């Protein structure tokens, strides 16, 4: 089959690799129907050291079950299912607590002999604990929205949940990428009254307004902090959803959060230290967030996606086939595309 392999910064290739086969009785072989490129994939695309062997990449996908192991009971051949961005047994102590990203028997796509998601098929370990069955559909828009459950919509929701977003609150979302826009949608879904989106790309912030943003702040740094505080009578917002992952974004989050509020980080951090000293302590600020347990959230979010109440799939603004993946990476890295959908 054809699949994506990354060899280093800027070096993404599509190659012929072995077809996936069942290894354990808990495995499923899934034929990929939709996958995509994630903003977090751009970090290795920017700075991965060269490798002679390369590694498989991609962690967002849904597809049709082609083959099941003897112990799999939740799906059967022909079923459509979505995979979260990590696989898990959904039965260990952490999974039972809703933290499937810390599963004692789980792992990541593209590592330790497991296929990456940006290819024609995937061997899914721990299929009963990982996959969520979906209704069959040929609707491209619905398939795109269901695909976001694998990562970006679930991650935006995680940001809002960890920040305790609730009815009537004011929220700042930092970042107008796919996760940031998903966080706007999630905050709106949880009842936020005012949602300030900090972003400077017009097409993206326009979509943010459609998703529920009431204000857009293009300024960054101290100017951005001042602007958000002007909008909130100097007080800041109850919650900040930081969806970028840079130290500057985190510093803005600390600057715009209201006393007693929470800064929730879901952008993959590209720094080791940050402003969590006495100023944060005195203002009773909660710093929270982390990697999103998408498997925990998918059953909650899926019904609203199926009935069209929310359409997170609108974050996809370019569609390619598997052979076009290298150009898809380039387009996202060059900000020509917000999020690239792969349709084999």
**Alpha carbon distance, N-terminus to C-terminus of the chain:** 11
Angle between helices 178-189 and 202-211 (to 10 degrees): 20
Whether the predicted pLDDT of 265 surpasses 90: yes
Structure tokens at 131: 């996959």
pLDDT score, position 5:
98
Span 105-125, average pLDDT: 96
Domain spanning 155-289, CATH architecture:
3-Layer(aba) Sandwich (3.40)
- pLDDT tens column, 151-173: 999 999 999 999 999 999 999 99
Residue whose structure tokens are 């969806």: 243
| pLDDT, the chain, mean | 97
Q: Which residues pair with 171 in a beta bridge?
A: 195, 239
Span 58-75, average pLDDT: 98
Q: Classify each residue of 190-203 as buried b or exposed e, where b means 16 or more C-beta atoms within 10 Å of its C-beta.
A: bebebbbbbbeeee
Q: Per 3-state DSSP, what percentage of the chain is helix, strand, and coil (rounded to 5)?
A: 35, 25, 40
pLDDT score, position 344:
85
CATH C-level class of 2-151+293-342: alpha beta
Q: What is the pTM of this model?
A: 0.96
CA atoms 126, 132, 136, 141: torsion sign: negative
Q: Confidence band (pLDDT; 50, 70, 90) for 317?
A: very high
Domain ranges of the chain: 2-151+293-342, 155-289
Report the percent of the chain where pLDDT is more than 70: 100
Whether the predicted pLDDT of 121 surpasses 90: yes
Span 72-88, average pLDDT: 98
């Amino acid at each position: 089959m054809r699949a994506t392999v990354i060899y280093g910064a800027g070096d993404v290739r599509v190659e012929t690799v072995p077809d996936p086969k069942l290894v354990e009785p808990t495995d499923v072989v899934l034929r990929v129907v939709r996958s995509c490129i994630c903003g977090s994939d751009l970090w290795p695309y920017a700075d991965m050291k060269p490798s002679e062997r390369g590694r498989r990449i991609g962690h967002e996908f849904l597809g049709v079950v082609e083959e099941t192991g003897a112990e799999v009971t939740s799906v059967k051949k022909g079923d459509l299912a979505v995979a979260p961005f990590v696989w898990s047994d959904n039965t260990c102590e952490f999974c039972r607590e809703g933290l499937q990203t810390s599963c004692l028997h789980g792992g990541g796509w593209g590592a330790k002999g497991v296929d990456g998601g940006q290819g024609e098929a995937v061997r899914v370990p721990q299929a009963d604990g990982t996959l969520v069955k979906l209704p069959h559909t040929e609707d491209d828009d619905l398939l795109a929205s269901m695909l976001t459950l694998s990562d970006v919509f679930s991650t935006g929701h995680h940001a809002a949940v960890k920040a305790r977003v609730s009815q009537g609150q004011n929220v700042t979302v930092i970042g107008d990428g796919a996760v940031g826009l998903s966080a706007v949608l999630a905050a709106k879904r949880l009842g936020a009254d005012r949602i300030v989106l900090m972003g400077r790309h017009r097409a993206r912030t326009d979509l943010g307004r459609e998703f529920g943003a009431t204000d857009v702040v293009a300024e960054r740094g101290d100017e951005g902090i001042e602007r958000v505080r002007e909008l909130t009578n100097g007080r800041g917002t109850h919650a900040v959803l930081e969806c970028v992952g840079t130290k500057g974004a985190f510093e803005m989050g600390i600057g715009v959060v209201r006393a007693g509020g929470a800064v929730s980080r879901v952008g993959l951090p590209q720094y080791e230290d940050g402003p969590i000293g006495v100023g944060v302590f005195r203002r009773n600020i909660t710093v929270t967030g982390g990697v999103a347990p998408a498997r925990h959230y998918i059953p909650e979010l899926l019904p609203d996606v199926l009935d069209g109440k929310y359409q997170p799939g609108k974050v996809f603004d370019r569609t390619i086939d598997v052979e076009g993946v290298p150009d898809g990476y380039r387009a996202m890295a060059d900000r020509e595309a917000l999020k690239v959908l792969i349709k084999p």
